[in-house]
Homo-oligomer: A and B are copies of this chain.
Amino acid sequence: MNFVEKIKAGDVYSVARLITLVERREPEAIKTVKGFYSQCGRAHLVGITGPPGVGKSCLVASLIQRFRLKGMSVGVLAVDPTSPFTGGALLGDRARMTELSEDKEVFIRSFASRGHTGGLSAAVNDAADILDISGKDVVLIETVGVGQGEIDIARLAHTVLLVLMPGYGDTLQAMKAGIMEIADIMVVNKADKPGGDETVAELLTVQNFQCVHQNSDTWVAPIIKTSTVTQEGLDDLTEAILKHFQFIKQQNIFAEKNRKRRVEQFLNIFTQRMRDEFMEELKTDQALQGWVDKIGAFELHPYSAAEQVISLVKEAREGRKKVRRQNN
């Protein structure tokens, strides 16, 4: 078997190696991922987001077990904080989770953000495709939720879980930030602690407020109390995740979600490449250097500069369309 065949067969070492290579943005690895593309789209991507400390990692460990009992294979992509200052606390959880991975049908990988979130997002997208191709039924994408960047990563999943805990008092914060709108399932974890029902009631209030105009075809995010200590609600959560996947497939939301994710991925790659090309050209192109000097010397505002380039791009596009029309 060659490398690609090994990945398709789910060989753990080959999968791990390719993910490492895409994380480093190696051109050969990205070419491999591109080659896979027509065979992607089978796995169920589940995003798990929420504030630090609500027990997301333990919940992920419980979900892995539940899915395994159903005979499903599981991939986990754990996205560590974008923060250069925090993050140590997570490592303990991660070590705990890795115990599970003696099971060959479970693949767990952590991503720490080095530098910008854009690069992280690209690597996680590619890793999700690799796990998809390697035959994983479910890919859990856990983000620590401290930054908008992680939330953007979570929302690329087919099913998004928002995890809170009793008495967290952040329901309103989450609502304001538009998190609740993207949540397909709301989880009140650590339900063995007091205050769980109040948090559920709060979430219901917000949800009723938001769902006024929804019809019966629309998914109303279930609110599920869970505890990894008492095992409460974990089966319900597993079923809700699977039910949501069925729902989006029946309602043709699946294709729409894939399209949205891929357009976002395209725009991220494209804008990053435009930046790189610009900085590369700036090194040698004297006309461009002169133009940038004007920006730096307070002669040409960055807004005006952007407008100039945008209209050049537009002009080129119009010209192209004209040529196309003449050729037809």
Contacts and interface: CB of A to CB of B under 8 A. Distances in A.
Given A113-B148, A270-B310, A296 B84 contact: no
Interface range, A side: 35 or more
Interface in A276-297: 277-278, 282, 292-293, 295-297
Interface string A253-277: 0010011101101110111011101
Contact of A148 (B34, B117, B296, B307): B117
Contact of A302 (B84, B269, B275): B269
A146 to B, nearest CB: 5
9 contacts: A37-B300, A39-B298, A82-B149, A84-B148, A262-B295, A265-B302, A270-B274, A271-B271, A274-B274
Interface in A104-155: 113-117, 145-149, 151-152
A116 to B, nearest CB: 6
Interface in A42-74: 50-52
Given A305-B266, A316-B319, A84 B259 contact: no
A95 interface: no
Given A34-B301, A148-B113, A292-B259, A270 B85 contact: no
Contact of A296 (B51, B178, B258, B274): B258
A156 B125 CA distance: 29
